[in-house]
């Protein structure tokens, strides 16, 4: 699979968001990553459906919505109305299989996310229900953390299991992605790179081009 870039708007200037979206489109990014935090599943609070709905009006890029919220099944219908990829955490307290099935029934591509403390083998049974799996390479809820090398082993294990089953599942990685860690993640099996501060810089086009060249 070709490597895709999904910049996290959590790092963007929200007062200049329309301009930032246009820059991302011009730079050749593949989708937009949106981190939804509820202050319960993770300590921080970010944004919800209203902001994502506004973003959807101002870009044609697919929206990659990452729910870092408690019992996400309660809000699937609301977020499915504004998402293209809709992901939730394995650890968040919802019935995993039923939630993945409901996301697909609502017209979105389901994504299952795991925290650094979760072994990849725990989600092997759910891979046939996923379009994408997100491996967190930092603890969810805070930006600017250092990349955890243990994510590389998880990506490799998931890529091997998908290959064994003949599944074309995208493997996304989020946290500490930059010019040094991105090549390692892609080598381990990542096909979607979430990047925040690395992309939102005065070298946006150059850095997006570099990330996509890792295919």
Query: Residue 214: is its pLDDT beyond 70?
Result: yes
Does 27 score more than 80 pLDDT? yes
- What sign does the dihedral 159-164-165-167 (CA atoms) show? positive
DSSP notation for 18-62: HHHHHHHHHHT---EEEEEEBSSSSS-B---HHHHHHHHHT--SP
173 vs 215, residue with greater confidence: 173
**Residue 140 above 90 pLDDT?**
no
Between CA 141 and CA 81 the distance in angstroms is 24
The set of residues, in sequence order, having a beta carbon less than 8 Å from that of 80 and lying 6+ positions away, is: 86, 103, 106, 107, 108
State the pLDDT confidence band at 1, using cuts at 50, 70 and 90. Answer: confident
> Which domains, and CATH codes, for the chain?
4-212 (3.20.20.70)
CB 116 within 8 A of CB 140: no
Is 174 marked active-site? yes
Per-residue pLDDT band for 100 (boundaries 50, 70, 90) equals very high
Q: Residue 131, exposed/middle/buried by CB under 10 A (0-12, 13-18, 19+)?
A: buried
With a cut of 90, say whether residue 215 has pLDDT above it.
Answer: no
- Please give the distance of CA 6 from its chain centroid, rounded to a whole number: 7
Q: Which of 35, 38, 64, 131 is catalytic?
A: 35
Q: Are 178 and 198 in contact (CB under 8 A)?
A: yes
pLDDT band at 141 (very low <50, low <70, confident <90, very high): confident
Angle subtended at Cα 26 by Cα 55 and Cα 80, rounded to the nearest 5 degrees:
30
**DSSP states of 128-171 as a string?**
GG-SEEEEESS-TT-SSPPPPTHHHHHHHHHHHHHHHHT---EE
Tokens of 72: 């996400």
Mean pLDDT of the chain: 95
pLDDT for the residue numbered 144 = 65
Cβ-contact 186, 214 below 8 angstroms: yes
What torsion do the CA atoms of 148, 154, 156, 160 make, to the nearest 10 degrees?
Answer: -170
Kindly write down the DSSP assignment for every residue of 164-215, as one continuous string: HHT---EEEEESS-STTHHHHHHHHT--EEEESTTTSSTTHHHHHHHHHTT-
Rounded to whole angstroms, how far apart are CA atoms 71 and 169?
24
Provide, rounded to the nearest whole percent, the portion of the chain with pLDDT above 70: 99
The one catalytic residue among 30, 38, 64, 174: 174
pTM, to two decimals = 0.96
Indicate the pLDDT class of residue 168, thresholds 50, 70 and 90.
Answer: very high
pLDDT at 107 over 80: yes
35 is catalytic: yes
Determine the average pLDDT of the residues in 34-51: 95
């Amino acid at each position: 699979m070709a490597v895709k870039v999904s910049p996290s708007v959590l790092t963007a200037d929200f007062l200049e968001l329309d301009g930032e979206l246009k820059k991302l489109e011009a730079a050749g990014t593949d989708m937009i990553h949106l981190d939804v935090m509820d202050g319960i599943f993770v300590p921080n609070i970010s944004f919800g459906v209203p902001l994502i709905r506004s973003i959807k009006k101002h870009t044609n890029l697919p929206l990659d919505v990452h729910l870092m919220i408690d019992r996400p099944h309660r809000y699937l219908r609301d977020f499915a109305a504004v998402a293209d990829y809709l992901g939730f955490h394995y650890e968040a307290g919802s019935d995993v299989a039923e939630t993945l099935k409901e996301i697909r029934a609502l017209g979105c591509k389901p994504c299952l996310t795991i925290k650094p403390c979760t072994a990849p083998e725990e989600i092997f049974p759910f891979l046939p229900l996923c379009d994408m799996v997100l491996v967190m390479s930092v603890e969810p809820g805070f930006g600017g953390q250092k990349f955890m090398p243990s994510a590389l082993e998880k990506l490799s294990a998931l890529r091997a299991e998908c290959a064994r089953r003949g599944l074309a599942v995208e493997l996304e990685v989020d946290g500490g992605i930059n010019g040094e860690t991105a090549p390692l993640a892609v080598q381990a099996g990542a096909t979607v790179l979430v990047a925040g501060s690395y992309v939102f810089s005065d070298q946006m086009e150059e850095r997006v081009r570099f990330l996509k060249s890792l295919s």
